[in-house]
């Protein structure tokens, strides 16, 4: 085995945001040298990595030159230059996940086609190269209202996605390549983190459940384990494994799924990296998703994915009407609550709905955890000074 | 409450070794700015802190000037200049634990007298200002062989401590201030981590047990919870709390104790900081000892000290006959074992018996954890290339 620990081996990470920051806790734990590339001089990863480089993740030369300097290259964000990754792979550099996987995932149209080819259950859809073609599709009834419109590129955190109910909604859409997806009236939105190593060892985490706010229709809690039947659990895990294998994925893959009213499991989207739906694992799991990603891409044995205790994650997003230097109001109150751990990502400025951190609530009894999570949600506020 | 999170608040840490390194995981989690002072340019804390300064921890000016730059000052090693800390305290700087506590603990003679004054049970002892006085004490029978000799200063990890059975052993001793301590034939060596906040909130961790190697007479495993009766558990916790209160300690305090054959609890030594006997808490506890230390010295609410699962810690020390660039032989084999997490401190060079890291083994069943711990111990070796 190659010697990664307190050695000259270098792991390169494209992107220096909060996901990278949390990954660095584990590279530090193992004393694995890291190089991080990020456009921002104040990236959360700026400290705690061994070598920080400021640069554009979409620039071919920048990504290529960065990749040449490291032994294994990974990423914590999808919007990176895949051409540079492909070149590095051709030259024998280890890039995990692969440029091929990333190219498929970067384009939602291509991602949906991939599921079709691989017989992975997903919502019905049609692709359109621009707005005019979409409008035709609606006029000649190939697409029926209501439907879910998704821009094929650059969609993230709800951006580039909208529910289309009328011609007026259509009129508001930008003129970009897009897909029109059948609207799923789902019982539950579920997610499974799958991890697969270079040599193909594969493990799945328990199924998690996204609980939505009744009015706001926003994910409020990520709950592990999901409060679903064993049959649905098995079905969801089987689908998630199938997706990981179909991509021949190396590293952590987050598979987001719908449980339909008829208990079908449909793949919604995937993220080829540690994911918000796996943050609970830092406190609740035997091996957290970040350590697991490192184990997988270095072809080390995978760790146990079971939970020690029940876990719930609440996102900390900037409150409406607040912009400027951040203050975590009442954080000391939630720290009084048992099993509550705030994670502060290190962004100095808050903005409405900006992801500023998250809070994990762990408890041996998941229903107790759920009660505490609600108290947390109603107590802490991300405001400006 | 003062705003510590993503603010301009600065926490100063004297010492940049592995304890500081592990503390930085939690300052990073909370995005609390840190300044670290350490003599070594390759200190494990060099990265992951916000401001690293190379300097002598025993130098008055260096420590004083460093302290002036921060809002709260703490330490991860006892051998620091307490006069500088006292000066900073007089000028209103928050220093936790206090210089007074540290001065008592730095000198083992003074530490023992403190226990006497405060009616804290400890092994009988006599102090001697030099070797000649010790020899007199033996000759006129004030000290009976065998006894435990301890240098009052600079003892660490077994250094400065020896069991004296004969005149020949006495002859070998250095001419320093020392104590002669009654030898305790103990059933168990136990430890309790106590945490006390600025405003006096106090919590204790479960009692841990040090299991010794039958021949080598070295601590092999730190086991949480200790395999002792509830009566002894309560007694040990009561004594540990008494010690913390006697010091009016602020922060984490590790209290090492003997359980005698007659089930007395005697305090052996204390460490006014996160301690080896609390490392298991990173994986096993609801709140690890490093986060807890930060909560305490910033007067934040203390976290839950209970365990999620049973935990065992095994130290990774350099193998005999190996010096030079370190290799963690068979580390991939132990990473296959369930609930096993290696911690690599980041020292590039190994030496016989040098503390290079530790391994935590967690399992819901402590006896299962104990079996796995033995496999770990017999598998991984810290060698040189």
Would an 8 Å CB–CB cutoff place B309 in contact with chain A?
yes
Residue B70 predicted with pLDDT over 70: yes
- A164 marked as binding residue: no
State how far residue B277 is from chain A, nearest Cα, in angstroms: 18
Question: How are beta strands B310-317 and B355-363 bridged, if at all?
Answer: antiparallel
pLDDT single digits (tens) B174-222 = 999 999 999 999 999 999 999 999 999 999 999 999 998 877 667 899 9
Is B49 in the A-facing interface, judged by CB distances under 8 Å? yes
- Residue A280: both structure tokens together: 């609970």
Burial of A230 (0-12, 13-18, 19+ CB in 10 A): exposed
Assess A198–B contact: CB distance below 8 Å, yes or no. Answer: no
Q: Is the dihedral of CA A286, A291, A294, A297 positive or negative?
A: positive
Give B362-383 pLDDT, tens digit per residue.
999 999 999 999 999 999 999 9
A29, A283, A299, best to mutate vs chain B, most B CBs in 10 Å: A29
* pLDDT value of residue B212: 85
d(CA B68, CA B139): 51
Closest CA–CA distance from residue B209 to any residue of chain A (Å): 22
Q: Note whether A166 contacts B: Cβ–Cβ < 8 A.
A: no
Q: Is A234 on the interface with B (CB under 8 A)?
A: no
B346 to chain A: which residues are within 8 Å by CB?
A: 6, 28, 31
The alpha-carbon gap from A360 to the nearest alpha carbon of chain B, in Å, equals 11
Tell me what pLDDT residue B157 has: 54
C-alpha B365/C-alpha B367 separation (Å) is 6
3-class DSSP state of B243: helix
Q: Give the three-state DSSP class for B294.
A: helix
- Residue B343 is predicted with a pLDDT of 98
Query: What pLDDT score was predicted for residue A218?
Result: 76
**Does residue A42 sit at the B interface (CB-CB below 8 Å)?**
no
Name the residue of chain A whose CA is nearest to B304's CA. A338
Q: Does A345 touch chain B (CB under 8 A)?
A: yes
Q: Rounded to an integer, what distance in angstroms lies between the CA atom of residue A361 and that of residue A340?
A: 5
Share of chain B above pLDDT 70, in %: 98
- Contact list in A for residue B336 (CB cut-off 8 A) is 301
The answer to whether B296 faces chain A, any CB pair under 8 Å, is no
Q: pLDDT, tens digit, for every residue of B352-367?
A: 999 999 999 999 999 9
C-alpha to C-alpha distance for A237 and A305, rounded to whole angstroms:
13
pLDDT digits (tens, 9 = 90+) for A119-176: 999 999 999 999 999 999 999 999 999 999 999 987 655 568 899 999 899 999 999 9
pLDDT for A215: 74
Q: Does B278 touch chain A (CB under 8 A)?
A: no
| Residue A357 in tokens | 């951190």
Q: Is residue B146 reached through a cis peptide bond, with omega within 30 degrees of 0 on the bond before it?
A: yes
Set of chain B residues whose Cβ sits within 8 Å of the Cβ of A24: 48
pLDDT at B67 over 60: yes
Annotated ligand binding at A268? The verdict is yes
A262 inside 8 A of chain B by CB: no
Chain B: residue nearest A21 by CA? B28
pLDDT > 80? residue A217: no
- The predicted pLDDT at position B271 comes to 96
> Within 13 A of B125's CA, how many CA atoms are on the CB side?
27
> Which residues on B lie below 8 Å from A30 (Cβ)?
342, 344
Residue B335 marked ligand-binding: no
Mean pLDDT value across residues A26-41: 97
Q: Which residues are A327's β-sheet partners?
A: A383
Tokens of B71: 């809002």
User: A286, B328: Cβ pair inside 8 Å?
Assistant: no
pLDDT at position B159 over 80: no
Look at residue B219 in the predicted model and tell me its pLDDT: 85
Neighbours of A319 (CB within 10 A): 19
Which among A48, A44, A35 has a CA at the least distance from the CA of A16? A44
What is d(CA A182, CA A46) in angstroms, rounded to the nearest whole number? Answer: 42
- Sequence length of chain B is 385
Structure tokens at A281: 């694992």
Name the minimum distance, in Å, from the CA of B12 to any CA of chain A: 16
| Res. B89: pLDDT tops 60 | yes
Q: Is A61 annotated as a binding residue?
A: no
Instruction: Please state which of the ranges A149-153, A286-290, A365-369, B207-211 shows the lowest mean pLDDT.
Output: A149-153
Say if residue A209 carries a ligand binding annotation. no
Q: What is the residue-averaged pLDDT of chain B? A: 95
CA distance B214 to chain A (A): 31
In B, which residues are within 8 Å of A291 by CB distance?
A: 341
pLDDT digits (tens, 9 = 90+) for B303-340: 999 999 999 999 999 999 999 999 999 999 999 999 99
Q: Is the pLDDT of residue A259 over 90?
A: yes
A348 touches B: beta carbon within 8 Å: yes
Report the chain A residue with the minimal C-alpha distance to residue B337: A303
Q: How confident is the model at residue A114 (pLDDT cuts 50, 70, 90)?
A: very high
| Cβ atoms of residues B46 and A47 within 8 Å | no
- Do the Cβ atoms of A304 and B346 come within 8 Å? no
Q: Answer whether A341 touches B (CB < 8 Å).
A: yes
User: Cβ contact (<8 Å) for B29 and A343?
Assistant: yes
3-state secondary structure of A18: helix
Q: Nearest 5°: CA angle at B200, between B194 and B205?
A: 20
Q: Which of B5, B22, B300 to mutate to test the interface with A (most CBs of A within 10 A)?
A: B5
| Per-residue pLDDT at A51 | 97
Residue B183 contacts A where some CB pair is shorter than 8 Å: no
pLDDT at A339 over 60: yes
Alpha carbons B177 and B151: distance in angstroms, whole number: 6
The answer to whether A338 faces chain B, any CB pair under 8 Å, is yes
Tokens of A39: 């456009």
pLDDT of residue A10: 98
Would you state the pLDDT for residue B154?
74
Nearest CA in chain B to A343: B29
C-alpha A129/C-alpha A151 separation (Å) is 10
Q: Do A31 and B332 touch (CB under 8 A)?
A: no
* Partner residue opposite A304 with nearest CB, options B48, B338, B345: B338
A335 is in an annotated binding site: no
Separation CA A163–CA A161 (nearest Å): 7
- Residues A204 and B175: their CA atoms lie apart, in Å, by 62
Pick B48's closest partner by Cβ from A28, A327, A343: A28
What ipTM, to 2 d.p.? 0.95
For B351, the token pair is 């030496």
Contact criterion met (CB < 8 Å) for B335 and A364: no
Cβ distance of B332 and A362 shorter than 8 Å? no
- Degrees (nearest 5) of the Cα angle A240, A4, B348? 150
Cβ-based contacts of B24 with chain A (< 8 Å) = 48
| CA distance readout (Å), A91 to A66, A81, B115, B333 | 14, 16, 67, 31
Kind and range of the H or E element at A38? strand A33-38
Segment A229-238 shows an average pLDDT of 98
A265 to A185, A259, A272, B149: CA distances (angstroms)? 12, 5, 20, 70
Give the integer Cα–Cα distance in Å for B147 and B182.
Answer: 5
- Tell whether the model's pLDDT for residue A220 goes beyond 80: yes
CA–CA gap between residue B303 and residue A337 (Å, rounded): 8
| Partner residue opposite A3 with nearest CB, options B327, B346, B364 | B327
Q: Using the beta-carbon criterion (under 8 Å), do B308 and A303 form an inter-chain contact? A: no
pLDDT tens across B50-59, in order? 999 999 999 9
Of the candidates A339, A348, A364, the beta carbon closest to that of B6 is on: A348
**Res. B290 pLDDT band, cuts 50 70 90:** very high
Closest CA in chain A for residue B31? A346
B361 annotated as ligand-binding: no
Judge whether A327 is closer than 8 Å to chain B, CB to CB.
Answer: yes
Mean pLDDT of A290-317: 98
> How many pairs of residues across A and B have Cβ atoms under 8 Å apart?
106
pLDDT at A185 over 80: yes
Sheet holding B125-128, edge to edge: B125-128, B178-182, B147-151, B161-164
Q: Is A346 on the interface with B (CB under 8 A)?
A: yes
């Amino acid at each position: 085995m190659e010697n990664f620990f307190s050695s000259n081996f270098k792991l390169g990470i494209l992107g220096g945001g909060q996901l990278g920051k949390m990954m660095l806790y584990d590279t530090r734990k193992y004393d694995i040298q890291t190089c991080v590339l990020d456009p921002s001089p104040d990236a959360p990863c700026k400290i705690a990595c061994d070598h920080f480089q400021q640069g554009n993740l979409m620039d071919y030369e920048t990504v290529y030159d960065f990749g040449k300097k490291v032994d294994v290259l990974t990423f914590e964000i999808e919007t990176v230059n895949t051409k540079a990754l492909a070149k590095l792979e051709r030259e024998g550099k280890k890039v995990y996940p692969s440029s091929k996987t990333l190219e498929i995932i970067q384009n939602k149209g291509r991602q949906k086609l991939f599921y079709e080819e691989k017989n992975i259950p997903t919502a019905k859809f049609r692709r359109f190269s621009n707005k005019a073609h979409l409008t035709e599709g609606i006029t000649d009834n190939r697409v029926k209202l209501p439907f879910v419109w998704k821009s094929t590129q650059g969609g993230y955190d709800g951006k580039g996605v909208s529910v289309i109910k009328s011609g007026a909604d259509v009129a508001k859409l930008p003129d970009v390549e897009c897909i029109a997806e059948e609207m799923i009236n789902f019982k539950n939105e579920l997610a499974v983190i799958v991890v697969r190593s270079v040599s193909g060892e594969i493990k799945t985490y328990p199924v998690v459940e996204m609980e939505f706010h009744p009015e706001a229709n926003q994910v409020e809690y990520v709950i592990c384990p999901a409060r679903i039947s064993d049959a649905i659990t098995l079905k969801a895990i089987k689908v998630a494994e199938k997706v990981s294998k179909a991509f021949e994925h190396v590293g952590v893959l987050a598979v987001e799924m719908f449980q339909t009213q008829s208990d079908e499991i449909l793949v919604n989207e995937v993220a080829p990296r540690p994911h918000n739906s796996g943050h609970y694992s830092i406190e609740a799991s035997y091996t957290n998703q970040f350590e697991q990603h490192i184990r997988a891409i270095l072809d080390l044995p995978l760790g146990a994915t079971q939970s020690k205790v029940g876990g719930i994650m609440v996102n900390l997003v900037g409150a409406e009407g607040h912009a400027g230097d951040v203050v975590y109001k009442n954080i000391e109150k939630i720290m009084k609550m048992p099993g509550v751990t705030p994670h502060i990502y290190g962004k100095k400025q808050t903005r409405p709905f900006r992801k500023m951190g998250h809070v994990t609530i762990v408890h041996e009894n998941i229903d107790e955890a759920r009660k505490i999570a609600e108290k947390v949600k109603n107590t802490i506020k991300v405001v400006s000074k």
